[in-house]
Amino acid sequence: MRSNTCLSGSRRATRIDFFLTLTVCLLLGTVQAQTFTVLRAFKGTPDGRGPNGVILDSSGSSYGTTYSAGVRYKGIAFKISPEGKETILYNFLAGHGANPDSTLVQDANGALYGTTQRGGAYNGGAVFRLDDKGRETVLYSFVGGADGAWPNVVIRSADGTIYGTTENGGNTGCEFNWGCGTVFKLSPAGKKTTLYTFSGGTDGAYPGGGLVQDSAGNLYGVTWGGGDVNCNNGYGCGTVFEVDTAGTETVLHTFIGGNDGTWPVGLTRDKEGNFYGATSGGGTFNNGTVFKLHASGQETVLYSFTGGADGSQPGAGVVLDASGNIYGSTLSGGAGSCYCGVAFVLDTSGKETVLHSFTRGGDGAGPGAVVLDAARNIYGTAGGGGDLSCGYNGQGCGTVFKITR
């Protein structure tokens, strides 16, 4: 179940919150963005609640899903025009997938692909396709158990094959029989193959944040658990992993806590083969990090969040621009008394600039994943805030925002 606090933004972040003890530090000076615009403040039913991030098309329209609300209370798929006009593309319902909890991917014909946390034929979540007419097709329903459950964001290759992970299921001897997750592929015809099943040991547990694929077809991702089983009271502090085309897993980095970081939440890859990501915990101040994993396998912590005005606890991965600057968000921290998260950029020297501190007012609270357009404008969603007449106890139902630098 989603958290409704400022730390909301994803189910996975809520689970990580269980292990985190947040430390409120002295506020630091920040630099605000030139222009912050709320493109949409969600209003609950019949609108959505709890957006999951957006993708952009060539016209500047953004597409995404909300975790809940809509006319069936199971979430919606939406489109936001550059002017902020919302179109509800689809209302989810239990038997066809319910409670989408990740960003979408779009094909050349405008069809959208994504996953739902719940619903499907067996209530273990589903992979779906939504065509440009708003017609939904369930491509696969997860059974649970060895098959996997709770799918994360998917990627789609040029031939139409879909790749993704499930956070649970797989090895049912792991985590009180819930399972520690899988890596899977889904053919264009809908045939599902489990490529790898996590054991919860040194190989990792609970993958999240989506996958990255190289030109040879190898898959890369993160797990927020497993790895060093001496870390985090036996749960592990997470890994960066590779699964090759034969289904063999290689752990590229094992997080050990402390300055190294704990609980990675996403991964991206540059053209030289280096990886970049964020961790929700650890670092010098135990408020999370941004890291680089060199193609050689060496990890460098690029930034450690203090928990003050610079932000705390990233809940999603990062994105790069053509100059090598790194953009992301944190679920907590920021200026003022809210500690409702920030959007930030790191330059190539590791210097952070806070682009916006969220207030849980009309701007939102608990930002998630961000994306860039060709002009380096930043788009994203906040899981709470916005219309404070919506949601529980005035927490708001979330926003879609744009930051123009």
Using only the alpha carbons of the chain, give its radius of gyration. 19
| pLDDT confidence of residue 118 | 94
CATH number where 320 lies: 2.40.10.500
- Within-domain flag for 222: no
| pLDDT confidence of residue 313 | 98
Count of the separate structural domains present in the chain: 1
What is the C-alpha to C-alpha distance for residues 141 and 325, in angstroms, rounded to an integer?
39
What range does the domain containing 275 cover? 264-356
Token pair 């264009």 in the structure block, residue: 188
- Within-domain flag for 337: yes
| pLDDT confidence of residue 393 | 84
- Within-domain flag for 7: no
**Cα–Cα separations (whole angstroms), residue 175 to 76, 183, 234, 255, 362:** 31, 17, 11, 20, 39
| pLDDT confidence of residue 27 | 35
- Within-domain flag for 168: no
- Within-domain flag for 276: yes
- Within-domain flag for 322: yes
- Within-domain flag for 135: no
- Within-domain flag for 119: no
What is the C-alpha to C-alpha distance for residues 69 and 37, in angstroms, rounded to an integer?
23
| pLDDT confidence of residue 392 | 83
Per-residue pLDDT of the chain (405 residues; tens, 9 = 90+): 333 334 344 444 444 443 333 333 333 334 444 799 999 999 999 999 999 999 999 999 999 999 999 999 999 999 999 999 999 999 999 888 999 999 999 999 999 999 999 999 999 999 999 999 999 999 999 999 999 999 999 999 999 999 999 999 999 999 888 999 999 999 999 999 999 999 999 999 999 999 999 999 999 999 999 999 899 999 999 999 999 999 999 999 999 999 999 999 999 999 999 999 999 999 999 999 999 999 999 999 999 999 999 999 999 999 999 999 999 999 999 998 899 999 999 999 999 999 999 999 999 999 999 999 999 999 999 999 999 999 888 899 999 999 998
**Cα–Cα separations (whole angstroms), residue 121 to 7, 98, 114, 137:** 31, 11, 16, 12
Task: Say which DSSP state 393 is in.
Answer: G
176 Cβ neighbours under 8 A, 6+ residues apart: none
170-193 burial code (b ≥16 CB/10 A, e <16): bbbebbeebbbbbbbbbeeeeebe
| pLDDT confidence of residue 306 | 98
| pLDDT confidence of residue 405 | 84
What is the C-alpha to C-alpha distance for residues 15 and 17, in angstroms, rounded to an integer?
5
Whole-model pTM over 0.85 = yes
